[in-house]
Structure 1
């Protein structure tokens, strides 16, 4: 099912039925456009540590109750490799987390989750298959820069249409099975009197400037202005998605196009 990230922020995190904190942000990578971590607020318990929750740690979320159950122990969360709150999440730190929990690296292959399409399929039992290669592979992989972005920092980016600014990024829509990002939500109210929120496929994004904090889409202002309105309070159903693609005359896409990822990567600044 599709969910908006604004909704997930604030969800309670439970281990064995007991609260260990809340989700305060989500980190996605801008190569595969997939959520890699939930950033937890654990209150006074681990107040000086950056606590990252991988989707591999999540089991049976109760979306209606705004609860995310974790399949790790409180001791594991407390003892896992840590960074201070202000340190950036490096690839080396990610690998330390994987080694601690016995997870394969999501960047080890070309799928959304390494060799798999779902985090649940990236079985921890497969971690041993990578052990022999780790000394050699990590010399290359750890030196690579990861592409993690904070949703809260990206929220508010300006959205540029083909013929001018159209609004700002208000939300991002994620698939709650794969944790892949699917759509951006644009708020047009500051650009058009009586404006509205609209949903646009990430496949319609042509370029991103992280330096200038903007997304460029291959649509006109006029077309976006008349787009079907997005209501964040309602579930995103296939009927609405179909209506959206029909309005723009675009083919329905169930995932982010690989060529698009490469194109955005080349135009990334």
Structure 2
């Protein structure tokens, strides 16, 4: 069985299309630092909306057309153009801003649903004082470059993220190891992370460097099949997420 998983860098090669025209290209994603689910795609709109970046949620995503290198967005350009202005320079959105965003599209916010939310479901107005704190959103661009530390020392840094398109969750962190390991790249699942030090920009894992060094190698852009995942999880002695 082959999963549809893509690196963020690969997704940046696709052109995003609204229902009635070209929208732009992916710049980065904002993800939840507790569930590692992608909450928003940050899109550069190019010549269409000069100087503006917009947020698109995964529930608005349609089909990916490999042959045309396009990703369909199930929204019109007018809907996107009239959406609330958001500061996309950093993912410090308040619940109030997110409420306004979801209200614009008449979507159920993700924090009120067991899933990401569905198109066509009506927005339900709850108590205004509910959940006013900032959500735990992180920028993929900001986390790229974080140092990765094993129990006995550094092993490399976060280079990219591998997203499972089935539910738009970050399934793996792509780690570029030290030059002494000949630039070998490996994958680590977010569930294996012991701690992320957001201030010191470090990802800590409860593994030894040798265990990571001897992990199945990941070649940039390779298709991740179930056999590869079985070997990966077996190597680290972890429970398989698909079970």
Seen in structure 2, the aligned counterparts of structure 1 residues 208 and 69 have a Cα distance that, compared at 3 Å, is same
Residue 107 (1) aligns with residue 102 (2) = no
Residue 232 (1) aligns with residue 220 (2) = yes
> Please, which runs of 5 or more residues in structure 2 have no aligned partner?
none
In structure 2, what is the equivalent of residue 151 of structure 1? 140
> What SS does the aligned partner of 1:198 have?
strand
Seen in structure 2, the aligned counterparts of structure 1 residues 28 and 84 have a Cα distance that, compared at 3 Å, is closer
More strand by share: 2
Residue 79 (1) aligns with residue 67 (2) = no
Deviation of 1:50 after TM superposition, in Å, equals 3.4
Q: CA–CA distance in 1 between the matches of 2:20 and 2:71?
A: 10
Deviation of 1:85 after TM superposition, in Å, equals 4.8
Contact 1:49-1:84 at 8 Å conserved across structures: no
Deviation of 1:147 after TM superposition, in Å, equals 1.0
Residue 27 (1) aligns with residue 30 (2) = yes
TM-score, normalised via structure 1 length? 0.83
In structure 1, what is the equivalent of residue 6 of structure 2? 3
Q: CA RMSD in A?
A: 1.8
Q: CA–CA distance in 2 between the matches of 1:86 and 1:202?
A: 24
The number of residue pairs the alignment matches comes to 239
> What SS does the aligned partner of 1:61 have?
strand
Q: CA–CA distance in 2 between the matches of 1:242 and 1:9?
A: 28
Deviation of 1:3 after TM superposition, in Å, equals 1.8
Q: CA–CA distance in 2 between the matches of 1:43 and 1:164?
A: 43
Contact 1:162-1:217 at 8 Å conserved across structures: yes
Q: How does 1:109-148 map to 2 (within 5 A)?
A: 114-116=113-115, 119=116, 122-128=117-123, 130-131=124-125, 134=126, 136=127, 138-141=128-131, 143-148=132-137
TM-score, normalised via structure 2 length? 0.91
> What SS does the aligned partner of 1:139 have?
coil
Q: CA–CA distance in 2 between the matches of 1:215 and 1:46?
A: 36
> What SS does the aligned partner of 2:217 have?
coil
In structure 2, what is the equivalent of residue 216 of structure 1? 204
